[in-house]
Chains A and B, each alone.
Chain A
Amino acid sequence: MANPISLSVTAAAIGTTRAELSGPRGARPKRAISPRNVFIYGTLLLVSVYYLLPLYVMIVTSLKGMPEIRLGNIFAPPVEVTFEPWVKAWATACTGLNCEGLSRGFWNSVRITVPSVVLSIAIASVNGYALANWRFKGADFFFTVLIFGAFIPYQVMLYPIVILLRELGLFGSLWGLVLVHSIFGMPILTLLFRNYFTSVPEELFKAARVDGAGFWGIYFKIMLPMSLPIFVVAMIIQITGVWNDFLFGVVYTKPDVYPMTVQLNNIVNSVQGVKEYNVNMAATIITGLVPLIVYFVSGKLFVRGIAAGAVKG
């Protein structure tokens, strides 16, 4: 647009000295290999080695035969790739008289994990919602006790819970285990949900109340649809926790519903002669696969959810 600026600019430009015009111009020069970049990426790469090493060793070892392992270097890639350890870990490894490997426990783990995750998240999200938005008298007290529960070593609660489950008539059943997982997942999940719902603008909640929505109406129609990130976080934490659990799975159920980790423990701890490291590693990877996949698939949402729910301690 033709306007007075261009005039004033030319006038000023004439006034400036030539030296000025010859100075630096444009973007600051950047080198790809600056000390800063070397430091950042160097550190990160180094750290990555530390984090990846075990995974690498696990995978490599699980693909080797026993003779190769005995001879060699654990970091060396397998000379002869064999999937036998995987097959053995999955299908034929023995514990006592059962030689079905991990396969026996896989579906049990699924059957335990799914309801546990669903129930614990359902309860914890309602708790968090009630604590954040419907603060009734004593809510803070119960919440503090709940958080206190996060610190109690599981072993301490083993017997009281046995008694509790017995009184409820749930001992030994799948539902008993689901209940236990829900109870022990509750502190940290409730904390997450409470923090998240606290960050939802209170006015939204008020608007819904004026619109005549009740406790459940607001929960299902307003809060739930808004809280995907935190649900993902809760899900990952809970899937990881439940799937990896050994103690509750073995104490509160019986052999026909033992989860995979019990099987893993049996395989790893039933040493027959020498330790079959390759089978152990294969079994370990197989057992960890489900949480790993869940995590890889939803990792981004996890980070987002953490930002939304956990940071506002």
Chain B
Amino acid sequence: MASERPNRLYRNLTAKIAAIPMILTAVCVFLGGTAWTVVYSFTNSKLLPRAKFVGLDQYERLWGTHRWVVSIENLMIYGICSLVLSLVIGFVLAALMDQKIRFENTFRTIILYPFALSFIVTGLVWQWLLNPDLGLQSVVRSAGWVSFNFDPLYNADIVIFGVLIAGIWQGSGLIMVLMLAGLRGIDESIWKAARVDGIPLWKTYVFIVIPMLRPVFITTLVLITSGIVRLYDLIVAQTSGGPGIASEVPAKYVYDYMFQGQNLGQGFAASTMMLLAVLIVIIPWAYLEFGGKKRG
């Protein structure tokens, strides 16, 4: 039996070997890919990546581009609305589902099923439902309300909300399930204590329960945010960025410039800006998750 202190590296060697796929993915793909992207964002690569550095030119152009600014604005609007609405709708629905209701399974299934569909499908369906000549607007008009106007996908001012309707439709089910799971995890005696204290139900939710659901909110926040940053398929399927450039988003900007515009450098610069934004979100999260508390 060993009396020498063995090399640290060999302790739990199997575990380390088993983690190699993860380490490789993390380091080679995510870190490596990111670094590669950042490096090439300083070049003037066109169709193929080329190491001809041009400093910050791509970034200057990026921020001078009207479409990028619109994209960022859209993402902000969509992001904030989607975050708030997803959380609110998800939570309210979860709270309703938590009232020991009948047909809970049915309602839950109805609310969650869009989650199983792809964004492409979601985009198509809602594009159709919101089509003024075929969808809701024409139906309401043919029902007699002739002046009814609801054509978000063809109105540059509100097109992003048309996308939002579809995005919420698809995403809020999962949030609801997460919240519901969180609610179910709350100690029943908290509810009892609040009732004995004579606290109205809504106050119990707002002042006691919601603060207790912090971990769930963090999980959902991560989920929703990562979805928002990646928003692409839905836009492409639903509006293709239109009308005009009114519903453009950064991910689409990246894609279009990299592949359609054959200007990789510009695409990489835009990606780098997006990654930067992600880092701003994720660093506080990682800090909360790993910084203070240790397992014990």
| Touching chains A and B, CB distance < 8 Å | yes
Task: Report which A residues bind B (CB closer than 8 A).
Answer: 40-41, 43-44, 47-48, 50-55, 57-58, 61, 69, 73-75, 123, 126-127, 130-131, 134-137, 139-140, 142-161, 164, 182-183, 186, 188, 190, 198, 214-216, 236, 240, 243-247, 261, 264-265, 268, 277, 280-281, 284, 287-288, 291-292, 294-296, 299-300, 302-303, 306-307, 310-313
Contact of A216 among B14, B185, B274 (CB under 8 A): B14
Contact of A292 among B23, B27, B117, B222 (CB under 8 A): B117
Q: Is B87 on the interface with A (CB-CB < 8 A)? A: no
The answer to whether A311 and B109 touch across the interface, beta carbons within 8 angstroms, is: no
Q: Mark B109-135, 1 if CB is under 8 A from A, else 0.
A: 111111111111110111011000011
The answer to whether A140 and B290 touch across the interface, beta carbons within 8 angstroms, is: yes
Contacts of B120 in A (CB 8 A): 244, 246, 261, 264-265
For A137, the closest partner residue in chain B by CB is: B8
CB distance from B262 to the nearest CB of A (A): 12
Contact of A130 among B15, B105, B169 (CB under 8 A): B15
The answer to whether B111 and A155 touch across the interface, beta carbons within 8 angstroms, is: no
With A142-B23, A153-B230, A198-B295 known to touch, is A295 a contact of B116 (CB < 8 Å)?
yes
The answer to whether B109 and A299 touch across the interface, beta carbons within 8 angstroms, is: yes
Contact of A307 among B124, B184, B278 (CB under 8 A): B184
The answer to whether A152 and B34 touch across the interface, beta carbons within 8 angstroms, is: yes
For A54, the closest partner residue in chain B by CB is: B125
With A151-B278, A154-B230, A246-B120 known to touch, is A139 a contact of B19 (CB < 8 Å)?
yes
The answer to whether A74 and B128 touch across the interface, beta carbons within 8 angstroms, is: yes
CB distance from B288 to the nearest CB of A (A): 9
CB distance from A192 to the nearest CB of B (A): 10
Contacts of B169 in A (CB 8 A): 50-51, 54
Q: Is B182 on the interface with A (CB-CB < 8 A)? A: yes
The answer to whether B219 and A295 touch across the interface, beta carbons within 8 angstroms, is: no
The answer to whether A306 and B181 touch across the interface, beta carbons within 8 angstroms, is: yes
The answer to whether A157 and B33 touch across the interface, beta carbons within 8 angstroms, is: yes
Contacts of B11 in A (CB 8 A): 136
The answer to whether A215 and B128 touch across the interface, beta carbons within 8 angstroms, is: no
Contacts of A296 in B (CB 8 A): 109, 113
The answer to whether B29 and A160 touch across the interface, beta carbons within 8 angstroms, is: yes
Q: Give the docked Cα–Cα distance between A146 and B109 (Å).
A: 31
Q: Give the docked Cα–Cα distance between A58 and B268 (Å).
A: 38
With A40-B99, A288-B116 known to touch, is A48 a contact of B49 (CB < 8 Å)?
no
The answer to whether A155 and B255 touch across the interface, beta carbons within 8 angstroms, is: yes
Sorted nearest first, the 6 A-B pairs with minimum C-beta distance are: A244-B118, A307-B181, A134-B15, A313-B219, A160-B33, A215-B14
Question: What is the predominant secondary structure among interface residues of chain B facing chain A?
Answer: helix
Q: How many A-B residue pairs have CB under 8 A?
A: 256
Q: Give the docked Cα–Cα distance between A170 and B295 (Å).
A: 40
The answer to whether B178 and A310 touch across the interface, beta carbons within 8 angstroms, is: yes
Contacting residues of chain B (1-53) with chain A, CB-CB under 8 angstroms? 8, 11-12, 14-16, 18-19, 21-23, 25-34, 36-37, 49
For A134, the closest partner residue in chain B by CB is: B15
With A54-B125, A57-B129, A161-B33 known to touch, is A156 a contact of B254 (CB < 8 Å)?
yes
For B32, the closest partner residue in chain A by CB is: A160
The answer to whether B22 and A313 touch across the interface, beta carbons within 8 angstroms, is: no
CB distance from B204 to the nearest CB of A (A): 15
Q: Give the docked Cα–Cα distance between A236 and B15 (Å).
A: 27
Q: Give the docked Cα–Cα distance between A48 and B176 (Å).
A: 13
With A74-B129, A150-B222 known to touch, is A244 a contact of B19 (CB < 8 Å)?
no
The answer to whether B290 and A288 touch across the interface, beta carbons within 8 angstroms, is: no
Q: Is B57 on the interface with A (CB-CB < 8 A)? A: no
CB distance from A55 to the nearest CB of B (A): 7
The answer to whether B31 and A145 touch across the interface, beta carbons within 8 angstroms, is: yes
CB distance from A138 to the nearest CB of B (A): 8
Q: Mark B212-241, 1 if CB is under 8 A from A, else 0.
A: 000110110011011001101100000000
Q: Is B275 on the interface with A (CB-CB < 8 A)? A: yes
Q: What are 6 pairs between A and B in contact, CB < 8 Å?
A: A40-B101, A44-B93, A156-B271, A159-B264, A296-B113, A299-B105
CB distance from B170 to the nearest CB of A (A): 10
The answer to whether A146 and B25 touch across the interface, beta carbons within 8 angstroms, is: yes
The answer to whether B142 and A44 touch across the interface, beta carbons within 8 angstroms, is: no
The answer to whether B110 and A142 touch across the interface, beta carbons within 8 angstroms, is: no
CB distance from A255 to the nearest CB of B (A): 19
The answer to whether B182 and A156 touch across the interface, beta carbons within 8 angstroms, is: no
